[in-house]
Amino acid sequence: MITPSPSAQSAAPLPTRRFWTMMGPGFVVAVGYMDPGNWATDIAAGASFGFALLSAVLIASLAGIFLQTLIVRLTLATGKDLARLIRDRFPRPVAMVVWVVSELAMIATDLAELLGSAIALKLLFGIPILAGVVIAAVATFAILALPGARGRAPELVVGVLMSVVVVCFGWELVMAKPDPGALLAGLVPTIDLARDPEMLYLSLGIIGATVMPHNLYLHSGLVRSRLAAEATEADRKRAARWLTIDLSGALALAGLVNGSILAVAAIAFQGIAPDAAAPGIEDAHALLGSTIGGAAALVFAIALLAAGQSSTTTGTMAGQIVTEGFLNLRLRPLTRALVTRGASLIPALGILWSSGDGSADELLVLSQVILALTLPFILVPMLLLLRNRSLMGGLAMAPLTLRIASVMVVVLTALSGWLAGTSAMA
């Protein structure tokens, strides 16, 4: 659901027999955990180190589950989404800075997803990336113009697209026939992750591409839209358990998809020494066709298109929640999409027009640098809110959980700065 409706907030309390109506936010959020940015890092990791960095995918998935669980509890405890809480609980200048940074994150996210869809259209139909960007933008407008765009229609479309990605990569993994023992061994972290600089860089890249600002806003808004205004504390605690199950299952599935992307890339690039430059999505597509077969390459491109298009839709949904929360301004979904998409289309079309398809990788790097720089501006206020026991009430975190959350925020903040600096100098 893009924006909470009055009827959603005045719904009946949440007895167990009706909790099935709350299911779904985790699966919408999971789309952002297997977007084109994740594909790029997974492919580079699989091509360079085989199955060895599956452990980084596992760590990233667990970190994502932990952080998204925190945002679920914060929303249920307060009855407000993250954007609205920052607006209400912090001085206005601070809240406005966070809002501006959050809008930059929405634009950067949209840019990456646009490029992913455009690359998929090129692989499937030979459409130049410049034209593919325009087609992908129009497709998102069409989804958000559906009659139920203020209800659950976009969620259902996203669910269908996510199912396509899951089925496609399940089929890819079966066709690739990886060694089960090697896959299991790759899930165990080794000391090489810290010793090898390139291994460490790719591992951090996988983690950094997984935790993104828009997922926190999106999950918070979706949870709020399902919460009854008169829900008791017992209702909220019960909802926290159910929504955690929903989230864990969805992000575990996203982790399996990311692991499959890495494994398929590892098999496709097996025995082939990677070039000095990290292999990209188009390189993986070409090698899949030559090593596994044309059908595998086709399914790969279809999955990329579904991942890119579903991610652009959820990014617009997150942007709607940010605008309403920080500015108390309720825009139509299509209007919000025009604002964000217009801001991301300008640099995309300008650079692609002047430099051609080869500049797509540079734009992807730019989007990831922006996301890395914006993440701390969202994580730090979220942590401060979680540490406010009077605000959290009966859903307050245990001291150990808060310590773990604090360490994770510090690590992710340092990681974001390091990745942004490293990527900018590359």
Instruction: Give pLDDT tens digits for 218-261.
Output: 999 989 887 765 577 888 888 888 899 989 999 999 999 999 98
Alpha-carbon span 59 to 70, nearest angstrom? 17
Whether the per-residue pLDDT at 133 is higher than 90: the answer is: no
**Greatest CA separation found in the chain?**
61
Rounded to whole angstroms, the Cα distance separating 109 from 312 reads 8
Cα 159 to Cα 26: distance, rounded to the nearest angstrom: 11
Domains within the chain, CATH numbers bracketed: 6-425 (1.20.1740.10)
Summarised one tens digit per residue, pLDDT across range 270-294 is 766 555 556 678 888 888 887 777 7
For residue 311, what are its two tokens?
A: 């991610």
What does 139-177 look like in DSSP terms, one character per residue?
HHHHHHTSTTTTTTHHHHHHHHHHHHHHHHHHHHHHHH-
State pLDDT tens for residues 46-88.
888 889 999 999 998 999 999 999 999 999 999 999 999 999 9
